[in-house]
Amino acid sequence: MADLQKQFEQAVADSKALTERPDNMTLLRLYALYKQASSGDVEGERPGFTDMVGRAKWDAWAALKGTSAPDAMQRYIALVDDLKG
């Protein structure tokens, strides 16, 4: 688990240094996987329809409900590796 945590932290650092900005759907996937890996299942109220960005983030995170932290970390790492090309 400690090795996976280190790989995850490196992937987070790598995601901030990408040469090309990912599209919005990919950014939402990165956000949701990061939140699921670091905080677990989404909690709280879904943002209102006037907060479109917050609502999209909440929905993306909620779609991963039940995903384990190690699985979310591995999926995040794989996605960042794909983006690095």
User: Domains of the chain: which residue ranges?
Assistant: 2-84
Asked if residue 8 lies in contact with residue 78, where contact means CB atoms within 8 angstroms, the answer is no
For 2-84, CATH number?
A: 1.20.80.10
Q: Is the pLDDT confidence value at 81 over 90? A: yes
Segment 17-32, tens digit of pLDDT: 999 999 999 999 999 9
Mean pLDDT of the chain: 96
Q: What is the mean pLDDT of residues 8-14?
A: 97
pLDDT of residue 2: 86
Q: How far does Cα 40 stand from its chain's mean position?
A: 11
